[in-house]
Structure 1
Amino acid sequence: MTLPHERLHEGAHDRLGHLRGNDDWEAERWLDPSTRVLVVAGTRISSPLTWLSPAEAPEGRRVLLGERDGRAYFAVIVSRDHADDSWLPLRSVLPELVGATDALAPLVFHAIGMAEWLAATRFCPRCGGPLVMQSSGHELACSDGHVQFPRSDPAVIMLITHGEPGSSDEVALLGRKGEWPDGRFSTLAGFCEPGESLEDAVRREVAEEAGVRVGAVQYVGNQPWPLPASLMLGFTGVALDLDINTDAEELDEARWFTREDLLRGAKAGDLLLPGEVSISRSLIEGWVGQPLPGSW
């Protein structure tokens, strides 16, 4: 079964890692009119999403994305000044990507992730020297030879339940932040710390944010989330009790919901759940056992 968020990542492109830095091959493909280029202004892309030929692309930092169906794809990263108000951050164009018929969303995620990394990585963290792109944009090196590579930060996102599985009394834990509108709830999430297993990160984050103790934890799936540089790792977990004690700095509120609570609230519009592109939505709907109406 394809989960809702997985529609963004079906049919991954060949990233052609073995050809990065091959200037002759890259120059040849850049001259190919069938090659397609996504322009990223800072970390924003045009809406509607537009792929250009190399001849139409502006000058900028060229990044090889890879190949799909025999066609090469690049990103060209230019200054934020290149964009007008119609250019949007990735989060704002996610609904457009979900509805895309050409299944190019993984290429867009790749391009935005690289743009976010290049925007944040400007000087060598070891010597402070300036960095130069190499390996078709996938490495940055200083004059002392220190090489930086793109990084993705592992983050856990989890649906915690309590009660007999499948029973009408089984409940799931959702929380909301203070800056969110009334009625908006989501699964809990947080970053994995150094030296910590993913399962222990789930238990620690839930305890820190909601004061709920978690026992068994099970991996479900993952989702690239370059906002700016995360890999969301989805889990379910079983709470050892129903006691909630929220950390006001993390959550404004945490509540237990039955399946009926979620169905009724979503249908009435009183409960706003994450959009269908999010693994959070997949975790919730997987537990409920059916799609839910409405989203953020």
Structure 2
Amino acid sequence: MDELSSAPDTKHLVLARAGVDRAAHRRLDEPWLAAAWSHPTTKVLPIAGGEAFVVDAGGGTELVLLPSFEAPESGSRYFLGTDEDGVHYFALDCESLPGRLDGDARPAGLREVGGSLSDRDAGLLVHAVALEHWHRLHTFCSRCGHRTEKAGAGHLRRCTSCAAEHYPRTDPAVIMLITDSEDRCLLGRQALWPEGRWSTLAGFVEPGESIEQAVGREVLEEAGVRVAEVEYVASQPWPFPSSLMLGFLGRAHPDGTGITVDGEELSEARWFSREELRAGMEAGEILPPSGISIARHLVELWYGEPLPAAARW
């Protein structure tokens, strides 16, 4: 891709899809929430440990959503929203998923099935997974140390002692595809990744830092490459456990393209031409980023077309 200003189509980012209005104005309306839960068309998504029941159908995957009167009696309810037909959706945070369901239902997580879910189901599962993890790790008040309790239909925890309110945490992280003057892209790999796996560089935004500054710092720290310019592309939630990935394209400074990996975040980094990346994928020597990651989208923007099907996982 020759111009940073090319406008990408981001509607197919797997974990950034949704088909339900979150209806945040309803979260503190307890009578309305009780009525919504009891409505005969309401659908409930049981979730435990980041997994929900799914069924494979029609070449894709669907969430198993239960009527509220069939949902387990125990567990925390999180209101997820209402669709255009007036159907209400709740997640039910369980210690474990309910007993075996009829048919071919099986437990699965976002990494496995995120790419094969519909827009509605992908949005519901991302929302539910993020809330479940946050609630499990934030049972005590960071101000006074006392226990907190769920409020706001699952989007708030309130201290039982000092009444401090705590909201779900989202950590901003930058993820970037950097190119050089020869239009090669910079990819790196971590030592713990499967053999041949390469991806874009990424890192968390630090306090008091802009996202553009974070891009430059992370690339310099991890690969020793200086970044001259960056342009924002799109964002995608990454609830593993609580990140928001902010995607960028960037150009390396002409005098700063030499690579020196830090040996901690990255074990290797290198510049790839399109021909080198294509040949490596065709030979099975290079595994590109996962299809559910925004990293895949950034690489494909530069590559100019979807990566070969054989390279997907």
TM-score of the two chains, using structure 1 as the length reference: 0.91
Does 1:88 pair with 2:108? Answer: yes
Distance 1:177 1:30 in 2: 45
CA distance in 2, matches of 1:245, 1:83: 52
Match of 2:9 in 1: 2
> May I ask how many residue pairs the two structures share in their alignment?
288
Q: Which letter does structure 1 place at the counterpart of 2:26?
A: L
Given the superposition, is the C-alpha separation of residues 284 and 224 from structure 1 closer, same or farther in structure 2, using an over 3 Å criterion? same
3-state SS, counterpart of residue 213 of structure 2: helix
1:95 to partner: Cα distance? 3.3
Q: Look up the equivalent residue of 1:142 and give its one-letter code.
A: C
Please tell me whether the aligned partners of residues 10 and 234 of structure 2 are also in contact (alpha carbons under 8 angstroms). no
- Name segments (4+ residues, structure 1) moved above 3 Å: 1-5, 7-12, 80-84
* Helix, strand or coil at the partner of 1:217: strand
CA drift of 1:156 comes to 0.2
Higher alpha-carbon deviation: 4-13 or 151-160: 4-13
What is residue 214 of structure 1 aligned with on the other side? 227
Hey, what does 2:60 align to over in structure 1? none
1:115 corresponds to: 132
Of 108-117 and 261-270, more deviation after overlay is shown by: 261-270
Question: Which of 203, 226, 231 pairs up with 1:190?
Answer: 203
Residue 225 of structure 1: CA displacement? 0.9
| Pairwise CA distance, 1:11 | 4.3
Tell me, what secondary structure is at the counterpart of 2:66? Answer: coil
- Partners of 1:45 and 1:90 within 8 A in 2: no
Aligned equivalents of 2:125 and 2:14: distance in 1? 13
For 1:189, give the aligned amino acid. A
Aligned residue in 1 for 2:269: 254
Q: Which amino acid aligns with 1:24?
A: P
- Rounded Cα–Cα distance in structure 1 between residues aligned with 2:265 and 2:234: 24
Q: Partner residue of 1:200?
A: 213
Aligned-pair identity in percent equals 47
Structure 2 counterparts to residues 141-152 of structure 1, below 5 A: 141-143=158-160, 144-152=162-170
Q: Which 10-residue stretch deviates more, 190-199 or 56-65? A: 56-65
Give the AA of the match of 1:57. Answer: A
**Which TM-score applies when normalising by structure 2?**
0.87
Equivalent positions of 1:1-296 (< 5 A) are: 2-3=9-10, 5-48=12-55, 49-58=63-72, 59-69=74-84, 70-80=86-96, 86-97=106-117, 100=118, 103-143=120-160, 144-163=162-181, 169-240=182-253, 241-293=256-308, 294-296=311-313
Decide whether aligned partners of structure 1 residues 80 and 247 sit closer, same or farther in structure 2, where only a CA change above 3 A counts: farther
- The 3-state SS of whatever aligns with 1:74 is strand
Matched-pair contact (CA < 8 Å) for 2:16–2:235: no
Unaligned runs of 5+ in 1: 164-168
Structure 2 spans left out of the alignment, 5+ residues: 1-7, 56-62, 101-105
Partner residue in 2 for 1:166? none
Other-structure match for 2:4: none
| Pairwise CA distance, 1:269 | 2.0
Distance, in Å, in 1 between the alignment partners of 2:154 and 2:68 is: 17
| Aligned counterparts of 2:17 and 2:265: Cα–Cα separation in 1 | 33
CA distance in 2, matches of 1:138, 1:10: 20
Most deviating of 114-123 and 103-112: 103-112
Q: Structure 2: which amino acid aligns with 1:115?
A: E
SS at match of 2:120: coil
Instruction: State the one-letter code of the partner of 1:159.
Output: L
Please tell me whether the aligned partners of residues 177 and 185 of structure 2 are also in contact (alpha carbons under 8 angstroms).
Answer: yes
1:122 Cα offset (Å): 1.2
What secondary structure does 1:18 align onto?
A: helix
* 1:38, distance to aligned residue in structure 2 (A): 0.6
Q: CA deviation at 1:43?
A: 2.6
Shift of 1:89: 3.4
Change (3 A) 1:11 1:133: closer
Q: Partners in 1 of 2:243 and 2:19 — Cα distance?
A: 18
CA distance in 2: counterparts of 1:83 and 1:251, whole angstroms: 42
Q: Secondary structure at the match of 2:128?
A: helix
Q: Any idea what SS the aligned residue of 2:135 has?
A: helix
Letter in 1 for 2:307: L
Give deviations 1:11-34, integer Å, cap 9, x for gaps: 442111111121211111111121
- Taking only aligned residues, the RMSD between alpha carbons, in angstroms, comes to 1.9
